[in-house]
């Protein structure tokens, strides 16, 4: 094990040479100098390895399965192209995600449109795109089937249980806006059957960032019970039963790494038994992770501009809530490394803060880090999922560039925004000119 692994754990695309951090074979320093900061950087080899790990486990324990990628986790076209080349399907949350998936060549029958609270326009867009549609309400089902017949009709249910490490992320249970009750799902499938739909799917998404390998099988058990009732009452068979995303990654050094093989093995066992018990025919087991595929494959580079000694020590950097919102929105933790100073030799407790005029704009509060100086380069780990995708233009800031590293190559895969994006779209009524 190389000595740097205590900092990087399973993130094997990262390494250090005399404290300097490398992404595959490219130094963080050279990336920051060439492309500027803040900067999202993704490792192609890590994205592929993550996808292959899931595919291998599925092939071992449940070959009758399909793996999709939840585009919302990272919608960069190059990331999508990588995962398409790994033969994944695409789970799209909205019309533009369908468009992105089509653009990089995902076949129509490998796209699932699973938005929530669909508008009529969105449902019509999905029908026109000719993709499978996964609705999350009886209302959307009814409206959809008035407008037309999708090649496959799927429904998201709320099986009542939820899991995951991040407290503010709730996807099922009484407080969740997602999915339908069993009774309403039965009604929706009845309408779909009457409308002449021939292919069906059943879907749940109950938790995100789950590290407990037992969770997925217990949620699956619930979903299969629902499938059994629907099968019996409506008399349909499912092409797939979609367990959603939720495979977790450890953001903190103290968190364990998800035992993916065990999670999939246990889930496959429960799935196989349930399919038999409830006479469900031969549905495929479907998974649509986002975070697990891209989360740990991305880092965020940010440059220190200011050290302020106040009641606390504030380390001011050029990334903030406009770049990476997760710490502010969920109190999420991202490990921070200081380039060239990996060992905590003269550790100091500091708060790492951004340039936005909000006091919640703190990437890390009271964090023990090596002694930081102005101009140091900081590296935030695990920023590949829900990083750029949740970035904004708040305080009229540009969203950062994105870079894909492949061995020695580093290519820009999204330009940093400029005034064209930020100012160019605005219009002033003549009377105000
Ligand atoms: N499928 C559906 C329908 C989803 O809504 C999601 C995520 C996924 C799959 C992928 O879930 P994953 O495998 O990534 O857990 N912004 C939050 C995460 C929100 C997840 C929303 N839905 C974060 O930064 O942690």
The domains located in the chain, with CATH, are 14-43+296-422 (2.40.37.10), 45-294 (3.20.20.10)
Phi-psi region of 40 (alpha: psi -120 to 50; beta: other; left: phi over 0): beta
Please state, in angstroms and as integers, the Cα–Cα distance from residue 48 to each residue in 10, 76, 86, 148, following that order: 14, 15, 7, 37
Pocket test for ligand 1, best of 167, 245, 293, 324 (most atoms within 8 A of CB): 245
Q: How far is the CA of 208 from the centre of ligand 1 (A)?
A: 6
Ligand 1 atom closest to the Cα of residue 386 is: 24
CA distance 227 to 236: 10
Buried b (16+ CB within 10 A) or exposed e, 224-261: bebbbebbeebebebbbbbbbbbbbbbbeeeeeebebe
Pocket test for ligand 1, best of 54, 68, 73 (most atoms within 8 A of CB): 73
Length of the chain counted residue by residue: 433
209 annotated active-site: no
Which residues have any ligand 1 atom within 6 Å of their CB?
A: 70, 72-73, 91, 114, 166, 169, 205, 208-209, 244-247, 288-292, 326, 385-386
Q: How far is the CA of 70 from the centre of ligand 1 (A)?
A: 7
Q: How far is the CA of 383 from the centre of ligand 1 (A)?
A: 14
Positions in the chain short of pLDDT 50: 1-3
3-state SS class at 179: coil
- C-beta separation of 34 from 410 below 8 A: yes
Place of tokens 């390895």: 49
CA distance 291 to 166: 13
**Which one is catalytic: 1, 310, 311, 357?**
357
Q: pTM for the complete prediction?
A: 0.97
Place of tokens 């940010």: 302
Bridge partner residues of 91 (DSSP): 70, 112
Angle between helices 95-103 and 120-129 (to 10 degrees): 20
> What was the pLDDT predicted at 257?
96
Pocket test for ligand 1, best of 68, 72, 382 (most atoms within 8 A of CB): 72
CA distance 108 to 101: 9
> What was the pLDDT predicted at 4?
55
Q: Which residue CA neighbors atom 5 of ligand 1 most closely? A: 205
Query: CB-based burial of residue 311 (10 Å sphere; 0-12 exposed, 13-18 middle, 19+ buried)?
Result: exposed
CA 12 to chain centre: 20
Q: Angle 167-172-176 (CA atoms, 0-180°, nearest 5)?
A: 80
Q: Which residue CA neighbors atom 20 of ligand 1 most closely? A: 208
Q: How far is the CA of 293 from the centre of ligand 1 (A)?
A: 12
> What was the pLDDT predicted at 3?
46
Percentages helix, strand, coil for the chain, rounded to the nearest 5? Answer: 35, 25, 40
């Amino acid at each position: 094990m190389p000595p740097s692994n205590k900092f990087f754990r399973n993130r094997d695309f990262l390494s250090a040479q005399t404290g300097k951090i490398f992404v595959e074979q490219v130094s963080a320093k050279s990336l920051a100098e060439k492309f500027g900061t803040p900067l999202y950087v993704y490792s192609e080899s890590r994205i592929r390895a993550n996808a292959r790990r899931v595919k291998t486990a599925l092939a071992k324990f449940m070959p009758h399965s399909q793996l999709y990628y939840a585009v919302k986790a990272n919608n960069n076209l190059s990331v999508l192209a990588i995962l398409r080349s790994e033969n994944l399907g695409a789970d799209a949350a909205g019309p533009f995600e369908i468009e992105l998936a089509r653009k990089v060549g995902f076949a129509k029958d490998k796209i699932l449109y699973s938005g929530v609270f669909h508008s009529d326009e969105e449902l019509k867009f999905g029908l026109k795109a000719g993709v499978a549609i996964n609705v999350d309400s009886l209302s959307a089902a009814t409206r959809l089937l008035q407008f037309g017949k999708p090649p496959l009709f799927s429904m998201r249910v709320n099986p009542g249980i939820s899991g995951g490490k991040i407290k503010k992320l709730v996807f099922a249970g009484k407080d969740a806006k997602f999915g339908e009750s069993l009774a309403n799902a039965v009604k929706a499938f009845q309408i779909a059957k009457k409308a002449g739909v021939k292919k069906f799917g059943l879907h749940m998404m109950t938790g995100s960032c789950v590290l407990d390998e037992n969770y997925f099988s217990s949620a699956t058990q619930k979903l299969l019970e629902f499938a059994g009732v629907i099968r019996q009452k409506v008399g349909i068979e499912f092409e797939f039963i979609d367990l959603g995303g939720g495979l977790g990654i450890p953001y903190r050094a103290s968190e364990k790494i998800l035992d993916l093989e065990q999670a999939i093995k246990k889930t496959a066992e429960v799935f196989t038994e349930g399919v038999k018990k409830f006479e469900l025919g031969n549905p495929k087991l479907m998974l649509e992770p986002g975070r697990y595929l891209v989360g740990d494959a991305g880092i965020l580079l940010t440059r220190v501009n200011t050290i302020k000694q106040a009641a606390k020590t504030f380390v001011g950097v050029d990334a903030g809530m406009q770049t990476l919102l997760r710490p502010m929105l969920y109190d999420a933790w991202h490990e921070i490394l200081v380039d060239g100073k990996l060992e905590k030799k003269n550790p100091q407790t500091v708060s790492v803060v951004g340039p936005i005029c909000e006091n919640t704009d703190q990437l890390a509060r009271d964090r023990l880090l090596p002694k930081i100086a102005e101009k140091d380069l900081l590296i935030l780990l695990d920023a590949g999922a829900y990083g750029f995708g949740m970035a904004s233009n708040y305080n009229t800031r540009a969203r950062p560039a994105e870079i894909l590293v492949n061995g020695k190559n580093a290519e820009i895969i999204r330009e940093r925004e400029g005034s064209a994006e930020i100012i160019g779209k605005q219009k002033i009524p003549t009377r105000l000119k």
